[in-house]
Structure 1
Amino acid sequence: MSSHQQEPTFTIGELARDYDITPRSIRFYEEQGLMSPERTGQNRIYTGKDRVRLKLILRGKRLGFSLAEIKNLFELYDSNPNSAVQLETMLALTEQKRAVLRQQLHDIQMLMNELDDVEGRCREELTELKRGNIV
Structure 2
Amino acid sequence: MIERSYSITELTEMFDVTSRTLRYYEELGLLNPERRGTQRLYHDRDRVRLQLILRGRRLGFGLQEISDMLSLYDADPTEVTQLQAVLQRGDAKLREIEAQIRDLEAVRAELLEVRSRLEKTLAQKQRGERE
Bin of the TM-score, shorter chain as denominator length: over 0.9
Query: What is the distance in 2 between the residues matched to 1:71 and 1:82?
Result: 18
Query: What is the distance in 2 between the residues matched to 1:81 and 1:33?
Result: 19
The structural deviation recorded for 1:64 is 1.1
Q: What is the aligned partner in structure 2 of residue 72 from structure 1?
A: 68
Q: Alpha carbons of 1:83 and 1:21: their partners in 2 closer, same or farther (altered >3 Å)?
A: closer
The structural deviation recorded for 1:26 is 0.8
Kindly report structure 1 stretches of 4+ aligned residues shifted beyond 3 Å.
none
Q: What is the aligned partner in structure 2 of residue 81 from structure 1?
A: 77
Structure 1, unaligned runs of 5 or more: none
Pick from 87, 93, 96: which aligns with 1:97?
93
Query: What is the distance in 2 between the residues matched to 1:31 and 1:44?
Result: 13
Query: What is the distance in 2 between the residues matched to 1:17 and 1:117?
Result: 47
Q: What is the aligned partner in structure 1 of residue 57 from structure 2?
A: 61
Structure 2, unaligned runs of 5 or more: none
Query: What is the distance in 1 between the residues matched to 2:32 and 2:46?
Result: 8
**What fraction of aligned residue pairs are identical, expressed as a percent?**
42
Moved more, 77-86 or 89-98: 77-86
TM-score (norm 1): 0.90
Matched residue type, 2:92: Q
Query: What is the distance in 2 between the residues matched to 1:114 and 1:27?
Result: 45
Query: What is the distance in 2 between the residues matched to 1:20 and 1:121?
Result: 46
Query: What is the distance in 1 between the residues matched to 2:88 and 2:76?
Result: 18
When you count helix as a share of all residues, which structure comes out higher? 2
| Count of matched residue positions in the alignment of Structure 1 and Structure 2 | 130
Q: Deviations over 1:4-33 (max 9, x none)?
A: xx3222111221122111111111111111
CA RMSD, 1 decimal: 1.4
Matched residue type, 1:12: I
TM-score (norm 2): 0.92
Please give the secondary structure, in 2, of the residue aligned with 1:21: coil
